[in-house]
Amino acid sequence: MSRSHTQNCPVAASLNQLGDMWTLLVVRETLNGVTRFSQIQRNTGIAKNLLAERLATMVVDGLLERHDIGLTGVRHEYRLTPKGRALSPVMVAISQWGNAWLFDKGREPIALVHRKTGEALGPLRPSTTSGEVISWRDVLKIPGPGATASQRKHFASRKSTKE
Amino acid sequence: MSRSHTQNCPVAASLNQLGDMWTLLVVRETLNGVTRFSQIQRNTGIAKNLLAERLATMVVDGLLERHDIGLTGVRHEYRLTPKGRALSPVMVAISQWGNAWLFDKGREPIALVHRKTGEALGPLRPSTTSGEVISWRDVLKIPGPGATASQRKHFASRKSTKE
């Protein structure tokens, strides 16, 4: 980390401890519907040159699409691609962790609710493809189809492989 | 990012695009049951001086506890605290995103399954406190009890506040 975020936000507070993740702050803004450089810059506090560099990287990585919306000049909008939008679970997981562990009870900066009913979200819980909700401790990590031979060997040599 | 990870792992691959998150690699290792400096160092490829600094920070931040297990000298084990262990949803969310978006179908390096039945995990889905499973698009972010006045004003001025 080169610096600490000072925003009153569980995501930003998490990032102070989880690493230098300016990218996820840009994802936060674009998930919020913010599309313009100046507004992303204002809401995140990222230095302009760093933000320009980061946005370009995010376009190359396929997280953002840049659209020219200039009528009489160059004006750009940044919008999340499906790949970028698919970071919602990561953002919600980080938000819930930050709320739970970095702020006192009753001091949480944001709340997550069901858009239609206003009911509060519960903590994320994993479930199997058949829909059975299980505990985090019952999530087991195993080699996937693309695991290397050495990864398979590494897994096989472990007694316990908790995610 | 000062460098790219080259491991065949969806978490590491995500971090190449999501930011410099050595900390989460240490969380990954400790969730896997790895406790020793040398093994964390080997499995992550973090430079020793950087890892020492990072582990110390993680202890200060309350993510890890350092235990002296030396019988005839100094030997340390690093174990996740409940706060550190609570990062499981973040790790699973990042793993699933990486698997889905950074690897071709059938080339996923890891798989997540139910420890007891072996059934594959489905993608994380949010649910309300009453247990209703909803879509990511229906997750609404609103000011929490600890939101500042300017945050409340900012939210009120937005038409749409999607998480």
Q: Kindly list the domain boundaries of chain B, sorted by start residue.
A: 1-123, 125-163
pLDDT tens-digit readout, B146-155: 988 888 888 8
Residue A114 DSSP code? E
Q: Does A111 reach chain B within 8 Å, measured CB to CB?
A: yes
Across the interface, whether the CB atoms of A32 and B134 are under 8 A apart is answered no
Query: pLDDT by residue (tens digit) across A8-50?
Result: 556 655 554 555 567 888 888 899 899 999 999 988 888 899 8
Q: Point out the residue among A19, A21, A89 whose CB comes nearest to the CB of B124.
A: A89
| Dist CA B127 CA A46 (whole Å) | 33
Complex ipTM: 0.87
Residue type at A125?
Answer: R
Q: Is the pLDDT of residue B31 over 80?
A: yes
CATH class of B1-123: mainly alpha
d(CA B88, CA B57) in angstroms, rounded, equals: 19
- CB-CB neighbours of A7 under 10 Å: 17
Long-range (24+ apart) CB contacts under 8 A made by B74-78 are: B76/B36, B76/B37, B77/B35, B77/B36, B78/B26, B78/B30, B78/B35, B78/B36, B78/B37, B78/B40
Interface contact B159, partner A, CB < 8 A: yes
**What CA–CA distance (Å, rounded) separates A116 from B108?**
35
- Residue A163: the pLDDT is 41
Phi then psi for B153, rounded to 5 degrees?
A: -65, -40
Most confident of A151-155, B11-15, B18-22, B119-123: B119-123
Please list the ranges in chain A whose pLDDT falls under 50: 1-3, 16, 160-163
| A148 vs B18: which has the higher pLDDT | A148
Facing residues of B120 across strands?
A: B113
Query: For tokens 């000011």, what's the residue?
Result: B143
Consecutive H or E run containing B37: helix B37-44
Q: How many CA atoms lie within 13 Å of A136's alpha carbon, on the beta-carbon side?
A: 17
Report the share of chain B in percent with pLDDT over 70.
Answer: 84
Across the interface, of B97, B107, B121, the residue whose CB is closest to A126 is: B121
Compute and round to an integer the Cα radius of gyration of chain B. Answer: 19
Name the architecture of domain A10-85. Orthogonal Bundle (1.10)
B38 confidence band (pLDDT: 50, 70, 90): very high
pLDDT for res A150: 83
Q: Tokens in use for B72?
A: 């005839």
CA dist B153 and A105 (Å) reads 22
The predicted model scores a pTM of 0.87
Instruction: State both tokens at A12.
Output: 């930003």
Q: How many Cβ contacts (< 8 angstroms) between chains A and B?
A: 251
Above 50 in pLDDT, residue B1? no
**Residue B80 three-state SS:** strand
